[in-house]
Amino acid sequence: MNGSKPERLVCVGAHAADMEFTAGAVVANYTRAGHHSTFLHLTLGERGHRSLPPADYAEQKKAEAARAAAILGAEARWFDIPDGELLADEPTKRRIAVALRELRPTILIAHWRGSIHKDHIAAHAMMDDARFYACLGAIPLPGDLPPAPYCRIYYADNWEDPYGFVPEVYVDTTDTHEQWVEACSAYEIFRPGGAGFRYQDYYRALSVCRGAVAGFPHAVAFMKPQALLQAKGDLLP
């Protein structure tokens, strides 16, 4: 870690696979450098299979999520909220907040709000409040854990969250690109023909497009919250 303090990345996705596909290569960058990372899937995305019943696909997704995280050097967690029924309600915000107090992220990766998917919109809508609850010790939460440290939020570059997404931060993922492909391939939907949407084609091509802009063979882009765009100093940045 070159003497720098250890970071703790927590990637909160609406469905298992969302965060591995979008941010997995960056997670691998961090875990390779000795930092800690966790994928928190709010639902498993178990209702999206073309033929498997949701209960069977849920078991498959759990195995896929665990394998993908292991390949990336990360941990995987998931809630038992049904796919398609994620609500931005108080109980779910507090449930995420408890997880944040347990995991104590220094960096949080979340969905951008401009999404075509209701679960993604709900996941985005909960993050600021969940972080607020996690960080404010005066908010009582189950477990009585100490408050989480304040953490930065970055929004992932997800094909289903395109409206208003502006790539603002580019991370060189060249060294972990193949590791990321292997991890994502743990998911059936990433493998060729595994889903109606061509996930692998899209995200591999996106890594080249973002890399072309940033001057790297492969890159992953993120958007920042408005507050992080503020620069402070006595001269122009």
Binding site for Zn ion (CB under 5 A): 14-15, 18
Nearest approach in angstroms of CB 73 to Zn ion is 23
Nearer to Zn ion, 15 or 61 (CB): 15
Nearest approach in angstroms of CB 230 to Zn ion is 30
Q: Residue 119's closest CA among 37, 206, 199, 45?
A: 45
Nearer to Zn ion, 84 or 217 (CB): 84
Q: Residue 19's closest CA among 112, 156, 211?
A: 156
Tokens found for residue 155? 């929004």
Nearer to Zn ion, 148 or 153 (CB): 153
Nearer to Zn ion, 15 or 177 (CB): 15
Nearest approach in angstroms of CB 22 to Zn ion is 10
Nearest approach in angstroms of CB 120 to Zn ion is 6
Nearest residue to Zn ion, using CB?
15
Nearest approach in angstroms of CB 129 to Zn ion is 20
Nearer to Zn ion, 48 or 211 (CB): 48
Determine if residue 166 is left, alpha or beta; phi over 0 gives left, psi from -120 to 50 gives alpha, anything else beta: beta
